Amino acid sequence: MSAALSLTPASHPRGDVRGEKLLVIDAKANRFSDSRVGDLARFVRAGDLVVMNDAATFPASLRGRTRNGDPIEARLTEPPFEGRARAILFGAGDWHAKTEDRRAPPRLAPGDSIAFDGLTARVVRVDGKSPRLVELSFSEQGDDLWKGLFSAGKPIQYSYLDRELALWDVQTPFASRPFAVEMPSAGRPLAWSVLFDLQKKGAKIARLSHAAGLSSSGDPDLDARLPFAERYDLPHETLSAIAETKRNGKRVIAIGTTVVRALEGCASSHSGALVSGPGETDLRLSARHVPRIVDAVFSGTHEPGSSHFELLEAFAPRELLMRAAEHAHARGYLTHEFGDCCFIARDILA
């Protein structure tokens, strides 16, 4: 079985989210089965807590020109804080080209400026290992900066799509404040009818915010450093709900790897405890990590060899995940942002 197994990416947002494929993986029984997203409630128990990332996706791709007139694209890696944000730079070209095939940007130095449509940014720092990774300081601040981002920016685009994405294409049904660079895509197919089914089953719903970052830089050396440290915000009521769920012997189910990173990252930073409020994590999960908080994860389908696939190894053995990936490939599962889904738990009772 090859780790280079490749699934076909979904080429556009799909309408019938309840009908999207769901691969259910039972780690304890060492087996998997096919289902549909609309049937997710079958695999959730009364008293389980479903935790969602309510971050909205903001337009993090900015196209502009340097002081010398060279075209440049800046993809923010995080939401701006006090007028500053890190960004990965690209040269001429657009989303039709694969990220790794994009031209290199002009080399910039601290003090250089970039003019976007209605926004101006100055380079304040260039990464010591990659000149494409910079920190930008925007001339605009506060509300004016956010207005400028939504006016000048576009959502991150993907070359495997058949059309350019609009901002509403990359929002989950429960998106709240603009906090994510790329869509927390695991939550995309969870239509309100699916959530109501979970509640009717007796599950509880909670939320957190996690600043989902870039999934690819186009540079293998930079990609190896992803994900960068990402901000999160844990509401006190969510932590109380988690504590009650654990006391009752029920499961905490994460909707997406961003929720896993926020909860497990917080616990790793505080000796296993969760602390409410804002924080930041650079935790990269893998088979070596034993989850302290999350018992099951609902996620997109991910290809072997990707960082997201490695994260899933914290919940199921690699051999089982590889067999499941091969099955998904044979059954025509779609992957990436608008692809099909999987549900992984240590034990599943349908």
Give the mean pLDDT of 154-158.
96
3-to-8, 100, 320 alpha-carbon distances in Å? 15, 20, 13
Question: Do 152 and 62 touch, CB atoms closer than 8 A?
Answer: yes
Under 8 Å CB-to-CB from 261, ≥6 apart: which residues?
A: 210, 227, 230, 232, 281, 283, 285, 311
* Separation in Å, CA 326 to CA 3, 251, 304, 339, 341: 10, 28, 10, 16, 14
CB neighbour list of residue 148: distance below 8 Å, 6 or more residues apart: 116, 118, 119, 138, 140
pLDDT above 70 covers what percent of the chain? 98
User: ω into residue 227 within 30 of 0, thus cis?
Assistant: yes
Residue-range domains of the chain with CATH: 8-57+165-345 (3.40.1780.10), 61-152 (2.40.10.240)
Q: Are 298 and 246 in contact (CB under 8 A)?
A: no
Share of the chain above pLDDT 90, in %: 85
Higher pLDDT, 197 or 286: 197
What does the block give as tokens for 64?
């502009």
Cα-atom radius of gyration of the chain, to the nearest Å? 20
For residue 178, which of 308, 72, 81, 62 has the smallest C-alpha distance?
A: 81
Question: In this predicted model, what pLDDT tens digit does every residue of 106-119 receive, in sequence order?
Answer: 999 999 999 999 89
Q: What is the pLDDT of residues 171-190, one digit of tens each?
A: 999 999 999 999 999 999 99
Mean pLDDT over 235-256 rounds to 98
Q: Is the confidence at residue 4, as pLDDT, over 80?
A: no
**CA triplet 110, 80, 68: central angle to 5 degrees?**
35
Between 292 and 307, the higher pLDDT residue? 292
Question: CB–CB of 40/298 below 8 Å?
Answer: yes
Give pLDDT, residue 1: 40
Q: Are 166 and 17 in contact (CB under 8 A)?
A: no
H or E element that contains 148:
helix 142-152
Q: For residue range 24-48, what is the model confidence (pLDDT) as tens digits?
A: 999 999 999 999 999 999 999 999 9
Strand, coil or helix: what is 1?
A: coil
Q: Are 253 and 44 in contact (CB under 8 A)?
A: yes
Query: What is the predicted pLDDT for the residue at 21?
Result: 97
Model confidence at 7: pLDDT above 90: no
* Summary mean pLDDT of the chain: 94
pLDDT-based confidence at residue 218 (cuts at 50, 70, 90): confident
Q: What is the pTM of this model?
A: 0.94
pLDDT 10s digits, 160-170: 999 999 999 99
What residues have CB less than 8 Å from 243, skipping those under 6 apart? none
pLDDT: is 2 or 93 the higher one?
93
Give the mean pLDDT of 225-246.
96
d(CA 165, CA 193): 25
